[in-house]
Amino acid sequence: MFKKVLVAALVALPMCIQAQTLKFGVLNPSEIMQVMPEVATAQNTLKAASDKYEAQAKTLQDEYNKKLTELETLEKNKADQATMDAKINEIQDLQQRMQTFQQTASKDLQQQQETLMAPIQQKVINAIQAVGGAGGYAAILDGGVLLYKGTQLEDVSAKVKAQLGIK
Protein backbone atom coordinates (compact mmCIF):
# COMPACT_ATOMS: atom_id res chain seq x y z
CA MET A 1 0.00 0.00 0.00
CA PHE A 2 2.81 2.38 0.91
CA LYS A 3 4.53 1.69 -2.42
CA LYS A 4 1.35 2.59 -4.31
CA VAL A 5 1.07 5.93 -2.48
CA LEU A 6 4.76 6.61 -3.09
CA VAL A 7 4.45 5.79 -6.80
CA ALA A 8 1.35 7.99 -7.07
CA ALA A 9 3.17 10.85 -5.35
CA LEU A 10 6.17 10.47 -7.65
CA VAL A 11 3.89 10.49 -10.71
CA ALA A 12 1.95 13.52 -9.46
CA LEU A 13 5.05 15.51 -8.46
CA PRO A 14 6.13 16.48 -12.01
CA MET A 15 2.58 17.54 -12.79
CA CYS A 16 2.47 19.77 -9.72
CA ILE A 17 5.84 21.29 -10.58
CA GLN A 18 4.79 21.83 -14.18
CA ALA A 19 1.52 23.46 -13.12
CA GLN A 20 3.51 26.03 -11.16
CA THR A 21 5.71 26.94 -14.14
CA LEU A 22 3.00 27.56 -16.71
CA LYS A 23 3.34 30.97 -18.34
CA PHE A 24 0.34 33.00 -19.42
CA GLY A 25 0.43 36.12 -21.52
CA VAL A 26 -2.03 38.90 -22.01
CA LEU A 27 -2.38 41.58 -24.65
CA ASN A 28 -4.97 43.81 -26.28
CA PRO A 29 -5.03 43.06 -30.04
CA SER A 30 -7.00 46.25 -30.75
CA GLU A 31 -4.22 48.40 -29.30
CA ILE A 32 -1.66 46.58 -31.42
CA MET A 33 -3.72 46.94 -34.58
CA GLN A 34 -4.16 50.68 -33.98
CA VAL A 35 -0.44 51.26 -34.39
CA MET A 36 0.00 49.08 -37.48
CA PRO A 37 0.63 51.06 -40.68
CA GLU A 38 -1.46 48.55 -42.65
CA VAL A 39 -4.52 49.52 -40.61
CA ALA A 40 -4.05 53.21 -41.43
CA THR A 41 -3.77 52.34 -45.12
CA ALA A 42 -6.93 50.23 -44.94
CA GLN A 43 -8.78 53.01 -43.12
CA ASN A 44 -7.72 55.54 -45.77
CA THR A 45 -8.97 53.22 -48.51
CA LEU A 46 -12.29 52.79 -46.72
CA LYS A 47 -12.57 56.56 -46.15
CA ALA A 48 -12.04 57.22 -49.86
CA ALA A 49 -14.73 54.70 -50.80
CA SER A 50 -17.07 56.13 -48.17
CA ASP A 51 -16.48 59.68 -49.45
CA LYS A 52 -17.26 58.54 -52.99
CA TYR A 53 -20.53 56.99 -51.87
CA GLU A 54 -21.42 60.07 -49.83
CA ALA A 55 -20.90 62.27 -52.89
CA GLN A 56 -23.16 60.03 -54.94
CA ALA A 57 -25.77 60.04 -52.17
CA LYS A 58 -25.63 63.84 -52.04
CA THR A 59 -26.25 63.98 -55.79
CA LEU A 60 -29.31 61.77 -55.37
CA GLN A 61 -30.51 63.87 -52.41
CA ASP A 62 -30.12 67.08 -54.43
CA GLU A 63 -32.12 65.55 -57.27
CA TYR A 64 -34.79 64.48 -54.77
CA ASN A 65 -34.99 67.98 -53.28
CA LYS A 66 -35.27 69.48 -56.77
CA LYS A 67 -38.15 67.14 -57.65
CA LEU A 68 -39.92 68.03 -54.38
CA THR A 69 -39.58 71.71 -55.22
CA GLU A 70 -40.98 71.04 -58.69
CA LEU A 71 -43.92 69.20 -57.14
CA GLU A 72 -44.61 72.12 -54.80
CA THR A 73 -44.51 74.49 -57.76
CA LEU A 74 -46.96 72.29 -59.66
CA GLU A 75 -49.29 72.28 -56.64
CA LYS A 76 -49.14 76.09 -56.35
CA ASN A 77 -49.85 76.49 -60.05
CA LYS A 78 -52.74 74.03 -59.77
CA ALA A 79 -51.37 71.64 -62.38
CA ASP A 80 -53.59 68.90 -63.75
CA GLN A 81 -53.76 65.59 -61.90
CA ALA A 82 -51.89 63.59 -64.57
CA THR A 83 -48.87 65.91 -64.32
CA MET A 84 -48.98 65.75 -60.51
CA ASP A 85 -49.22 61.94 -60.57
CA ALA A 86 -46.27 61.70 -62.94
CA LYS A 87 -44.15 63.92 -60.67
CA ILE A 88 -45.18 61.90 -57.59
CA ASN A 89 -44.19 58.68 -59.39
CA GLU A 90 -40.80 60.21 -60.26
CA ILE A 91 -40.27 61.10 -56.61
CA GLN A 92 -41.26 57.63 -55.43
CA ASP A 93 -38.96 56.00 -57.98
CA LEU A 94 -36.13 58.25 -56.84
CA GLN A 95 -36.82 57.36 -53.20
CA GLN A 96 -36.56 53.68 -54.10
CA ARG A 97 -33.29 54.27 -55.98
CA MET A 98 -31.89 56.19 -53.01
CA GLN A 99 -32.81 53.40 -50.61
CA THR A 100 -31.30 50.73 -52.89
CA PHE A 101 -28.16 52.81 -53.31
CA GLN A 102 -27.74 53.21 -49.53
CA GLN A 103 -28.12 49.47 -48.97
CA THR A 104 -25.69 48.62 -51.76
CA ALA A 105 -23.13 51.18 -50.58
CA SER A 106 -23.34 49.97 -46.99
CA LYS A 107 -22.94 46.35 -48.03
CA ASP A 108 -19.99 47.19 -50.28
CA LEU A 109 -18.22 49.19 -47.56
CA GLN A 110 -18.68 46.34 -45.08
CA GLN A 111 -17.32 43.85 -47.61
CA GLN A 112 -14.34 46.10 -48.38
CA GLN A 113 -13.61 46.43 -44.66
CA GLU A 114 -13.66 42.67 -44.19
CA THR A 115 -11.45 42.15 -47.24
CA LEU A 116 -8.91 44.77 -46.15
CA MET A 117 -8.81 43.81 -42.48
CA ALA A 118 -8.70 40.00 -42.80
CA PRO A 119 -5.01 39.78 -43.79
CA ILE A 120 -4.07 42.30 -41.09
CA GLN A 121 -5.92 40.32 -38.44
CA GLN A 122 -4.27 37.13 -39.66
CA LYS A 123 -0.87 38.81 -39.44
CA VAL A 124 -1.55 39.73 -35.80
CA ILE A 125 -2.75 36.19 -35.03
CA ASN A 126 0.40 34.75 -36.61
CA ALA A 127 2.58 37.09 -34.54
CA ILE A 128 0.75 36.15 -31.33
CA GLN A 129 1.20 32.47 -32.13
CA ALA A 130 4.90 33.00 -32.87
CA VAL A 131 5.44 34.85 -29.58
CA GLY A 132 3.44 32.19 -27.71
CA GLY A 133 5.46 29.36 -29.20
CA ALA A 134 8.82 31.05 -28.79
CA GLY A 135 8.10 32.18 -25.24
CA GLY A 136 6.69 28.87 -24.09
CA TYR A 137 3.35 30.35 -23.03
CA ALA A 138 0.53 28.00 -22.10
CA ALA A 139 -1.94 30.63 -23.34
CA ILE A 140 -2.09 34.25 -24.43
CA LEU A 141 -5.33 35.94 -23.48
CA ASP A 142 -7.11 39.02 -24.80
CA GLY A 143 -6.51 41.61 -22.08
CA GLY A 144 -9.40 43.78 -23.25
CA VAL A 145 -11.86 41.62 -21.32
CA LEU A 146 -9.84 40.65 -18.25
CA LEU A 147 -11.47 41.60 -14.99
CA TYR A 148 -8.45 40.70 -12.90
CA LYS A 149 -4.80 40.32 -13.81
CA GLY A 150 -2.61 38.46 -11.34
CA THR A 151 1.15 38.70 -11.05
CA GLN A 152 1.71 35.47 -13.01
CA LEU A 153 0.15 36.99 -16.12
CA GLU A 154 2.69 38.67 -18.39
CA ASP A 155 1.79 41.46 -20.83
CA VAL A 156 3.22 40.30 -24.16
CA SER A 157 2.10 43.30 -26.22
CA ALA A 158 5.66 44.56 -26.67
CA LYS A 159 6.82 41.13 -27.85
CA VAL A 160 3.99 40.88 -30.39
CA LYS A 161 4.72 44.41 -31.62
CA ALA A 162 8.38 43.46 -32.00
CA GLN A 163 7.34 40.35 -33.93
CA LEU A 164 5.33 42.61 -36.23
CA GLY A 165 8.19 45.10 -36.55
CA ILE A 166 6.29 47.85 -34.71
CA LYS A 167 7.99 50.07 -32.14
In angstroms and rounded to an integer, the radius of gyration of the C-alpha atoms of the chain is 31
Rounded to whole angstroms, how far apart are CA atoms 35 and 26?
A: 18
The yes-or-no verdict on residue 151 having pLDDT over 90 is: no
Q: Please give the average per-residue pLDDT across 96-113, as a whole number.
A: 97
pLDDT band at 104 (very low <50, low <70, confident <90, very high): very high
pLDDT digits 0-9 by tens, 48-66: 999 999 999 999 999 999 9
Q: What does the pLDDT read at residue 95?
A: 96
Rounded to whole angstroms, how far apart are CA atoms 127 and 4?
A: 46
pLDDT digits 0-9 by tens, 78-93: 888 998 899 999 999 9
Q: What does the pLDDT read at residue 17?
A: 52
pLDDT band at 150 (very low <50, low <70, confident <90, very high): confident
Contact 32, 123 (CB under 8 A): no
pTM of the predicted protein model:
0.72
Between the alpha carbon of residue 44 and those of residues 48, 54, 91, 115, 167, the distances in Å are: 6, 15, 35, 14, 21
Break the chain into its structural domains and give their ranges: 21-164
Q: In sequence order, which residues have a C-beta less than 8 Å from that of residue 122 and are 6 or more positions away?
A: none
Contact 121, 39 (CB under 8 A): no
The yes-or-no verdict on residue 23 having pLDDT over 90 is: no
- Topology classification of domain 21-164: Protein Binding, DinI Protein; Chain A (3.30.910)
